[in-house]
Chain A
Amino acid sequence: MTGPVSWLGLVTSLALVAVAVVVSLWQHLGLGRQIAWAAMRALVQLLLVGVALGLLLTPGRSLWWSWAWIAGMVIYAGDVARRRAPEVPRMASLAIASFAAAAVITLGVTFGLRVLPLNSRTLVPIAGMMVGNSMTATVLAARRLVDELRDKRDEVEARLALGQPSRLAATPYVRAALRSALSPQIETTKATGLVFLPGAMTGLIIAGVSPVHAVLVQAVVMFLILGATATTTVVVALGLVARVFTPDHRLRPLPLGGGKRG
């Protein structure tokens, strides 16, 4: 290995996982096994992805393989979103549509306007960050909207009873869901550089890229994540409105939540 972290370094860093396990044991959290499993699973997944990316980024390899990788990533992300928000009707297809829309817009701007050069080395990581970073907000928007419409059903039906079309009747709850889903990303963006150094920039600096160039890349990534998050949340929210209301403007029954938050 020629990078800044050796295999021995990697093994040594597992001491930090041990710290988390010790905290769990000390405070009787019962999370030790989960922490160890999560760390090992992440490591194995990253190694497998590293191998796959190595194949994907081989010079001369067709860019279509990268697009196929992104398509697979979007579909898998849809499944993850479904499992995180089981109470949201047909969440997987909604999430896939929202990630696909975000991919078209953000990758279109980033590569179509030549902000970054289009090749496998830029396309796959950028798409990965786009999907990964907008996942939480997408799930949050969908769950919040379903919660709002279910908990304020009386209010929603009062709006419908006034003759408001379902899209208009849902507007206040869509706004609340979008605000709550986008606020954390906006706060993160505001705090970037002051409170924390983001992963992409840190990784580039560690890999030897000059801090100024690392900052430029990070800024692009940050704006891309902001744009992607706004796109995925609005697509998922409007798509959900179309599904939870009938074509004749009635609110369908909505199940109670029970899945993992986030």
Chain B
Amino acid sequence: MSRRSLPGRRDPGHSRVMVIATAVILGFVVLIGQLWYLQVLEGGRFLDASDKNRIRIRPIAAPRGILYDRNGTPLVDNRPAFTLSLIPRELPRDVESRDAVLGRVASLLNIPYQELLDAVARVQLDSFLPVRVRRGLTLTDVAKVEEWKLELPGVITEVEPQRVYPTSRFAAHLLGYVREANDEQLKQGRYRRGDMVGQSGLERLLDEYLRGQDGGERIEVDAMGRQVRRVQQMEPHAGAQVVTTIDRGFQEAAERAMDGHAGAVVVMDPRNGDVLAMVSTPAFEIDRFTGTIEREAWLRVVQDPNFPLLNRTIQSQYAPGSVFKIIVAAAGLQEGSITPLDRTFCNGEFRLGTFAFKDWKEGGHGLVDLHQSIVHSCNIFFYQAGLKIGAPAIVKYASAFGFSQPTGVDLPGEKLGFLPQPKAVRGRATKTWPAGETVNMSIGQGAVLVTPMQVARFMSAVANGGVLWRPRLVQRVERSERGVVWADRGQVSGHVELSPVVWAFLRQSMWAVVNDGGTGVGARIPGLDIAGKTGTAQMISKSRADKGQDHAWFAAFAPAKAPEVVVVVLVERGGKGGQVAAPIARKILNAIFYEKVAAVEVDG
């Protein structure tokens, strides 16, 4: 063991052990001193405290952050609402009298008895934390509970902030609903039972910011459950404020304009990609989704054949119809396959092999050039032009304009749309890509699928000369004490390079669609230069009964010279774009330009 003996210096170990032992004993003396203080000197006070230890912990829910529109008008607000809660520790201990209390609550407030039993079964019975049973009590309910208070130990009503919306269905898909954390979210461990969590839309996207920090208070209560005094309180911190890109006036106008139609509206600022309005109809009753929704109401919404939960602006895909002709024209002009002087005689029918492709107009448009074919939406011209340009070039320009790619909008569940890939098909055998497909594609039918948001981005690019903006919904998130905590400065996601004469041609033709006797005349507003394109997307099912079941499109920007807004309207099963969608766009544009003028004057 020689290597383990300490050579050199004299071994000071023994005395040091003694010193250390003394230090430890001193530590014990300090502990005993503290115990003396707690148990003997202050013991009486603590005994008193333990006798009276009927301390109730009352969480104070933090108000969720408020979502504002671009002008500082709230899109959603909070108001106080009453919540019925149970305090497990204060319910009667024996099962029989506890069930009696629960039964009394059930009959007083008309809540299913089983729901109460379930709520109690989920928690530890010695917990002091209130368990929320039902949110959104009426004042009458609250009065009943207070009246029966002595018979209802462990049953309390609390005041909590709850979401309130301008109208029952206002911007439902955009904002999204807020509900108690579900079991799956609880499993992730970020939430406590009863926490309100954004479940869809911006409420979900920005949940981390919107939910504040709950506060709480500890109150002493007497044997009757009445508050004796408040021991401690911690103020809740409200959630962050979100400034969106939405204009509440535009949003309301767009929702009004849709007036019972199923479909979608996107209003976008082509200069920066700001989404000014986002409407999907039918919408669900967002105010009924907040808090505790009854099972039946929930099922009714989920099973509704019109899919009110679907955000049609980004989650539904449609054939673009004649709106797509702008892309075909752009492709043809830029590639040099067609020129504005090319003419075709349209007799209402185009034969390709044994197939006959019809124009929408019985008897045809007569002799038309490219400009007139856009203005009057002549199909025959585009059938032939499409064959000249070729499917690969059309698909190339469609992808350049962002189709079949996500727009990158800040909401979950965005669909990509679809563009066929003729090149790949051609690589194997020319014959597998039928010319008929190209013919169909030239007028936006067949395999092509787009979302309204993609159309809005495309239309913005046409309006601003080729810049594809990622649609922006949120400008910034602010906390009152810390300023801006998150900001989205907008982002360009692509460029489309077309020669200036091509841009000018497209804009001129689209102006004429509305203002020079074209199909979009229904959107015309005197004094306002609107440029647009109508579209009528045939339903895939070709049964005769579906006549008039086409989707109606209208995509426009204004003013044509210096575009400030893009409006895209889609009406499901609406019929002709010019007859159904264009008038809706007109109402929205009217509100945007003329109601804005009024507002400015009032401000001045």
Task: Say whether A associates with B.
Answer: no
Residues of B whose CB lies within 8 Å of any CB of A are none
Residues of A whose CB lies within 8 Å of any CB of B are none
